[in-house]
Amino acid sequence: MKKKIILISFYLLLCFCLYQKLEPSTENQSISSSLFDAKEKKDLKEAKDDPIATLTISKIELERPIYALEDPKNNVEENVTLLKESILPPEENSIVFLAAHSGTGEKALFSRLDELEIGDTVSLSFDSYQYTYQVETREEQPKNGHIQVLKNQEEELVLTTCSEQDETKQLVIISKLIKKEK
């Protein structure tokens, strides 16, 4: 009897773990993004040295190159970082996750990100197109290495950095695509 209970418990635990790994194919889904492991990047042999995109936020006078996931320059210590969970345009329902340091110093590329307000615009030049996004939400989430986003059937750009007000939180700004032009 004890063996049966242990086997059933193990089976239920295994089913639960497998169920957690499956992604629902509903209209709204939660996406959890984590920072790309910097050590993985350092193990790469050659830098491509060519950005794949440019992020422009006129309101805070920011224009920065974005590097491919596999490029060693795609790291938070040097640049605005493209996170590995990103689905790049022109994919339908694309979602681009970008992270950078805030605070002070030369590494603090998102030091003024907290100045963005709902309605402000952010641009991403990628693959000969200019994508313009409008800020829809600003929120603070627990600083635990993950970003929780309720993914809609829209193209989105998510910007994140440490909160200026609370060291245990991160600022998450979610923007929706409003214009795509060549």
- What CATH number does residue 164 fall under? 2.40.260.10
| pLDDT at residue 151 in the model | 84
| Residues 159 and 137: beta-carbon distance below 8 Å | no
Ranges of the chain whose pLDDT falls below 50: 1-29, 36-47
| pLDDT at residue 153 in the model | 82
* Domain total in the chain: 1
- 17 found inside a domain: no
| pLDDT at residue 139 in the model | 96
Domain of residue 63 covers 31-181
- 155 found inside a domain: yes
Token pair belonging to 181: 């032009």
Residue owning tokens 């440490």: 162
pTM over 0.85: no
| pLDDT at residue 14 in the model | 35
| pLDDT at residue 145 in the model | 87
Residue owning tokens 């939180």: 169
- 9 found inside a domain: no
| Residues 147 and 158: beta-carbon distance below 8 Å | yes
**Which residues, including other chains, have CB under 8 Å from residue 89's CB and lie 6 or more apart?**
96, 124, 126, 127, 129, 131, 155, 177, 180
How does pLDDT run across 98-148, given as a tens digit for each residue?
Answer: 999 999 999 999 999 999 999 999 999 999 999 999 999 999 999 998 999
